[in-house]
Amino acid sequence: MTDTANRPKVVIIGGGTGLSVLLRGLKVYPVDITAIVTVADDGGSSGRLRDELKIPPPGDIRNVLAALSDVEPLVEDLFQHRFNKGNSLTGHSLGNLILAAMTNITGDFFHAVREMSKVLNVRGKVLPAANRSVVLHAEMEDGTIVSGESKIPYSGKKIKRVFLSPESIEPLEETIEVIRQADLILLGPGSLYTSILPNLLVPKIGDEVCKAKAKKVYICNVMTQAGETLDFTASDHVKALNEHMKCTFIDTILVNDEEIPDMMKALYAEELAKPVYYDIEALRDLGLEIVHDKIVSYENNVIRHDTVKVAKLLYDMIT
């Protein structure tokens, strides 16, 4: 038996860039990582492959595989390469095409992901939230319905709730098992309504997360997002998660307490985004343990979570 059997089991649920950033920091620690990744994406290269080949969208999975891979940088660069020439190839990443080809060869998206994990020497497991495409819908406060993950943030209306179709989505058995065995379940960072909730709304996954014995930590976004969380405080994010799951399930919230530089605020204000207000009293009223620190990094005028610092804070929670 290898020493991995005794490592703390960490399950991370999400999608998008935030999930990949977190995984790059966490994979250096002696933990057993499983990433559960959304299959609701319908934009860009992923959306085209999803529509043309009738497969789950590979983009978020591709980014997670790359983040957890242990290969030469050139191999990762090759996997992540995006074509900018050629009528049919423009906009596609090579990794998306490889996952699509592997799905055709194996006849199953999950098997394709598993085989690519071997090729890329992935540290941990990568599981799609479902082994088929799902469609994300949002009911707005005025009662209108917007369908499609890529369209929801651009509706110009406030989201009341999100839901999936079809209703008869089955999660992988492996997904349920890892949630039940987890020591730590992490939600985020990532878009609240279009990256995190699409995973939890898959029937059984949300229920199992609510019931799981593991400590559940929500890594709060640093900035709000226009079309999703405009003017949201930290506690508003948690309330939205609780309301969708119909249970109070988060134990701990990790929030940034560093003042964002004025120059960065001005850049993000152009996108109607601003720092998430860390409303400590409201968080305490929700019964949450609050972990706060300076957990942001700045690169190419983009605000991200500091992967090294966040990973250490999370690892300290289970050791």
Please check whether residues 133 and 228 belong to one and the same domain: yes
pLDDT-based confidence at residue 221 (cuts at 50, 70, 90): very high
E strands within the chain?
A: 9-14, 32-37, 125-128, 135-140, 145-147, 159-165, 184-187, 215-219, 252-256, 289-293, 296-299, 302-305
Residue at 70 is within a domain: yes
Please check whether residues 29 and 112 belong to one and the same domain: no
Please check whether residues 121 and 208 belong to one and the same domain: no
pLDDT-based confidence at residue 3 (cuts at 50, 70, 90): low
Please check whether residues 189 and 165 belong to one and the same domain: yes
Q: Which of 105, 126, 147 is the last residue of a domain?
A: 126
When pLDDT is averaged across residues 26-52 and rounded to a whole number, the result is: 94
Residue at 172 is within a domain: yes
Average pLDDT, the chain: 94
65: phi then psi, degrees, rounded to nearest 5: -60, -45
When pLDDT is averaged across residues 144-169 and rounded to a whole number, the result is: 94
Q: What is the DSSP string of 132-194?
A: S--EEEEEETTS-EEESTTTGGGSSS-EEEEEEESS-----HHHHHHHHH-SEEEE-SS-III
Q: Judging by DSSP bridges, how do beta strands 184-187 and 9-14 pair with one another?
A: parallel
**For the chain, what is the total number of helices (H) and then of strands (E)?**
13, 12
Q: Which of 72, 97, 126 is the last residue of a domain?
A: 126
pLDDT-based confidence at residue 319 (cuts at 50, 70, 90): confident
Please check whether residues 156 and 279 belong to one and the same domain: yes
pLDDT-based confidence at residue 1 (cuts at 50, 70, 90): very low
Nearest of 15, 23, 37, 19 to residue 171 by alpha carbon? 37
In which domain, by residue range, is 51 found? 42-126
Q: Which of 107, 126, 145 is the last residue of a domain?
A: 126
pLDDT-based confidence at residue 4 (cuts at 50, 70, 90): low
**Residues facing residue 11 across a β-bridge:** 34, 185
Residue at 222 is within a domain: yes
Please check whether residues 51 and 164 belong to one and the same domain: no
Domains of the chain: total: 2
55 near 41, Cβ under 8 Å?
A: no
Please check whether residues 120 and 173 belong to one and the same domain: no
When pLDDT is averaged across residues 160-171 and rounded to a whole number, the result is: 94
pLDDT at 239 over 50: yes
Residue at 164 is within a domain: yes
Total residues belonging to the chain? 319
Residue at 1 is within a domain: no
Q: Which residue has the higher pLDDT, 248 or 168?
A: 248
pLDDT of residue 6: 86
- What six digits make up the tokens of 202? 């898959």
86: phi then psi, degrees, rounded to nearest 5: 95, 125
Please check whether residues 221 and 309 belong to one and the same domain: yes
pLDDT-based confidence at residue 85 (cuts at 50, 70, 90): confident
We report the CATH number of the domain holding residue 212 as 3.40.50.10680
pLDDT at 5 over 90: no
pLDDT-based confidence at residue 115 (cuts at 50, 70, 90): very high
Please check whether residues 70 and 20 belong to one and the same domain: no
pLDDT at 127 over 70: yes
Please check whether residues 265 and 306 belong to one and the same domain: yes
Give the distance from CA 221 to its chain's centroid. Answer: 11
pLDDT at 268 over 90: yes
Q: How many CB atoms neighbour CB 284 within 10 A?
A: 12
When pLDDT is averaged across residues 164-193 and rounded to a whole number, the result is: 95
Residue at 294 is within a domain: yes
Please check whether residues 215 and 272 belong to one and the same domain: yes
pLDDT-based confidence at residue 16 (cuts at 50, 70, 90): confident
pLDDT at 121 over 80: yes
Residue at 95 is within a domain: yes
Please check whether residues 207 and 306 belong to one and the same domain: yes
Residue at 200 is within a domain: yes
